[in-house]
């Protein structure tokens, strides 16, 4: 049994899920089944009515997936969790649940590229509007909230500019308007940042990244109040159907068990690499939340336990110069995604954020020379050596 006040390192490994096997299997079994047999017609009817606990069909719930959902809920300090086939399945399910035609979303001035794509789709097809907001002050945020605003969507640190948003401030304002704050906590994981503790209502994750941690699964998670998660499960999850497979849930349960150790090393390596980059003659600017020289460092200190494993930096010159750096790398892989054991680098302007119109991209602070580095678990000196030779080449 996990004690109520267990440390997070313990909660990553144990949960109070009801035991799901009679054989004492230490690791969670994979329930690779689409359906569950009822012993009688009355039992089937009772399960559908919700009068009896139990499984029906794996799009509605699955025991392996349930273990993961309970674990992420405990880690984020929320009442319930829900697992999805991808981070985007989780985010789209949440935003569809929180809006109707004619509603409006306020979001951070900078978002994951496909979240931006989703907002555009919601606007074009369903007349759900949105406004971008830097959220650097209460006044600024208040100004963007309209009578039809039904939620605030926040990424912090923002991908890929790494600006941080004050979650306590956003939650305080949202309470005044009685609307929820949804936070994409992919970059931080609950080990570094717990948005619900800051007063926010809903947390979403691309579990593809640090939670899986090994670059071998695509998945999404949502955590929030029981009522909200129950509503998602019965509507935008059940009827749209972006559920997680039992095997992928099993990979994530496994990933969580080592997440704290991996995160400590990602953070340490990123700090070391960022310090070297700061003083490099070929580097214009470094954006790393864990650095005291970072403009939002006060916010980071208040709501994150460490600066994370991602940093971005601008190389001197133009886009071709940035691309030349990528092409010179030997150890570091040119790839989108992040949070893997391997160090990954990408050029957001031509890759993850290439579908955002150039002017809009510029407004978000994504220049053509901005590179995003997901610092891996290799020895930091080897990562630095490769980066340095590519910058100097
Ligand atoms: C990757 C990512 C997503 C999308 O997640 P998928 O699992 O790829 O669907 C959303 N938000 C952030 C911050 C991400 O890094």
Nearest CA to ligand 1 atom 6: 87
- What does the pLDDT read at residue 6? 84
Tokens 């931006």 identify what position?
Answer: 116
Is 347 inside any structural domain?
A: yes
Catalytic residue selected from 166, 184, 296, 368: 184
Q: Are residues 65 and 162 in the same domain?
A: yes
Q: Is the CB of 159 under 6 A from ligand 1?
A: yes
How far apart CA 121 and CA 132 sit, in angstroms, is: 16
**Which DSSP string corresponds to 59-108?**
TT--HHHHHHHHHHHHHHT-SEEEEESSHHHHHHHHHHHH--TT-EEEEE
Which of 239, 255, 271 lies at the terminal end of a domain, its last residue? 255
How far apart CA 290 and CA 186 sit, in angstroms, is: 16
Q: Is the CB of 86 under 6 A from ligand 1?
A: yes
How far apart CA 357 and CA 188 sit, in angstroms, is: 27
Atom of ligand 1 nearest to the CA of 91: 10
Is 9 inside any structural domain?
A: no
The number of distinct structural domains making up the chain is: 2
- Is residue 157 reached through a cis peptide bond, with omega within 30 degrees of 0 on the bond before it? yes
Integer-rounded Cα Rg, in Å, for the chain is 21
Judge contact between 131 and 104, C-beta under 8 A. Answer: yes
**Residue 87 Cα, ligand 1 centroid: separation in angstroms?**
5
**Residue 103 Cα, ligand 1 centroid: separation in angstroms?**
24
For 209-232, the pLDDT digits (tens) are 999 999 999 999 999 999 999 999
Q: Is the CB of 209 under 6 A from ligand 1?
A: yes
In the three-class reduction of DSSP (H, G, I as helix; E, B as strand; rest coil), residue 132 is classed as strand
Domain extent for 329: 260-392
Q: Is the CB of 303 under 6 A from ligand 1?
A: no
Q: Are residues 293 and 177 in the same domain?
A: no
Is 206 inside any structural domain?
A: yes
Which stretches of the chain are DSSP H helices? Answer: 8-11, 41-49, 63-76, 87-98, 113-126, 138-144, 167-177, 189-192, 226-232, 246-257, 259-278, 297-303, 319-328, 358-363, 380-392
Q: 333: which residues sit within 8 A by CB, 6+ positions away?
A: 342, 343, 344, 345
Is 6 inside any structural domain?
A: no
Q: Are residues 98 and 153 in the same domain?
A: yes
**Residue 107 Cα, ligand 1 centroid: separation in angstroms?**
16
Q: Are residues 248 and 309 in the same domain?
A: no
Specify burial of residue 37 (Cβ count, 10 A radius: 0-12, 13-18, 19+): exposed
Q: Are residues 282 and 338 in the same domain?
A: yes
Is 2 inside any structural domain?
A: no
Averaged pLDDT score across all residues of the chain = 95
Q: Is the CB of 348 under 6 A from ligand 1?
A: no
Q: Are residues 48 and 126 in the same domain?
A: yes
Ranges of residues in the chain whose predicted pLDDT is under 70:
1-4, 16-19, 21
- What does the pLDDT read at residue 207? 98
Specify burial of residue 324 (Cβ count, 10 A radius: 0-12, 13-18, 19+): middle
Atom of ligand 1 nearest to the CA of 219: 7
Q: Are residues 238 and 306 in the same domain?
A: no
- Pocket residue to mutate for ligand 1, from 85, 112, 207, 336, most atoms within 8 A of Cβ: 112
- What does the pLDDT read at residue 1? 45
Catalytic residue selected from 71, 209, 262, 372: 209
Q: Are residues 22 and 156 in the same domain?
A: yes
Token pair, residue 180, equals 């929820």
Sign of the dihedral through C-alpha 326, 327, 328, 330: positive
Token pair, residue 160, equals 């890929």
Catalytic residue selected from 112, 191, 287, 294: 112
Q: Is 369 left (phi over 0), alpha (psi -120 to 50) or beta?
A: alpha
Which of 204, 227, 255 lies at the terminal end of a domain, its last residue? 255
Beta bridge partners of 149: 104
Helices (H) and strands (E) in the chain, counts: 15, 12
Q: Quick check: is 184 catalytic?
A: yes
Nearest CA to ligand 1 atom 2: 206
**Residue 47 Cα, ligand 1 centroid: separation in angstroms?**
34
Q: Is the CB of 340 under 6 A from ligand 1?
A: no
Nearest CA to ligand 1 atom 4: 87
Pairing of strands 149-155, 181-184: parallel
Q: Are residues 265 and 217 in the same domain?
A: no
Whole-Å CA distances, 22 to 31, 33, 57, 307: 13, 17, 21, 42
Q: Quick check: is 254 catalytic?
A: no
Can you give the length of the chain in residues? 393
- What does the pLDDT read at residue 178? 98
CATH (domain of 310)? 3.90.1150.10
Is 7 inside any structural domain?
A: no
Q: Is the CB of 208 under 6 A from ligand 1?
A: yes
Atom of ligand 1 nearest to the CA of 337: 1
Q: Is the CB of 93 under 6 A from ligand 1?
A: no
Q: Cα 271 from chain centroid? A: 21
Q: Are residues 313 and 250 in the same domain?
A: no
Q: Are residues 215 and 133 in the same domain?
A: yes
How far apart CA 20 and CA 3 sit, in angstroms, is: 20
- What does the pLDDT read at residue 23? 83
Is 44 inside any structural domain?
A: yes
CATH (domain of 198)? 3.40.640.10
Taking each helix axis as running N to C, give the angle between helix 246-257 and helix 259-278, from 0 to 180 degrees, rounded to the nearest 10.
Answer: 70
Is 379 inside any structural domain?
A: yes
Give the pTM.
0.96
Which of 233, 255, 277 lies at the terminal end of a domain, its last residue? 255
Report which secondary-structure segment, H or E, holds 40.
Answer: none
Q: Are residues 203 and 299 in the same domain?
A: no
């Amino acid at each position: 049994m996990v004690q109520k006040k267990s440390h997070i390192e313990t909660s990553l490994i144990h949960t109070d899920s009801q035991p799901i096997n009679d054989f004492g299997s230490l690791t969670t079994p994979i329930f690779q089944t689409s359906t569950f047999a009822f012993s009688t017609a009355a039992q089937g009817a009772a399960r559908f009515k919700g009068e009896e606990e139990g499984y029906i069909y794996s799009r509605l719930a699955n025991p392996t997936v349930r273990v993961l959902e309970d674990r992420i809920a405990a880690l984020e300090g929320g009442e319930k969790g829900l697992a999805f086939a991808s981070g985007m399945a989780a985010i789209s399910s949440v935003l569809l649940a929180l809006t109707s035609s004619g509603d409006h979303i306020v979001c951070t001035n900078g978002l994951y590229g496909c979240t931006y794509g989703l907002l555009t789709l919601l606007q074009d097809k369903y007349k759900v509007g949105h406004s971008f907001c830097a959220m650097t002050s209460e006044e600024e945020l208040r100004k963007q909230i309209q009578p039809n605003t039904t939620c605030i969507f926040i990424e912090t640190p923002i991908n890929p500019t790494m600006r941080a948003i004050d979650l306590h401030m956003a939650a305080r304002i949202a309470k005044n308007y009685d609307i929820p704050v949804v936070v994409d906590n992919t970059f931080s994981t609950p080990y570094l940042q717990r948005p619900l503790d800051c007063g926010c209502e809903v947390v979403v994750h691309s579990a593809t990244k640090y939670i899986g941690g090994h670059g071998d699964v695509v998945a999404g998670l949502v955590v929030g109040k029981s009522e909200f998660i129950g509503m998602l499960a019965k509507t935008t999850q059940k009827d749209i159907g972006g559920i997680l497979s039992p095997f992928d849930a099993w990979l994530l349960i496994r990933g969580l068990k080592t997440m704290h150790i991996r995160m400590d090393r990602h953070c340490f390596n990123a700090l070391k690499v960022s310090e070297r980059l700061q003083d490099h003659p070929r580097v214009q600017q470094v954006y790393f939340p864990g650095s005291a020289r970072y403009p939002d460092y006060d916010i980071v200190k208040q709501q994150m336990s460490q600066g994370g494993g991602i940093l971005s930096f601008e190389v001197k010159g133009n886009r071709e110069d940035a691309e030349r750096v990528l092409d010179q790398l030997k150890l570091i892989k040119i790839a989108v995604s992040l949070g893997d054991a391997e160090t990954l680098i990408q050029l957001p302007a031509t890759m993850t954020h290439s579908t955002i119109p150039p002017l809009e991209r510029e407004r978000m602070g994504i220049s053509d020379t901005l590179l995003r580095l997901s610092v891996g678990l290799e020895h930091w000196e080897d990562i630095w050596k490769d980066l340095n030779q590519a910058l100097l080449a």
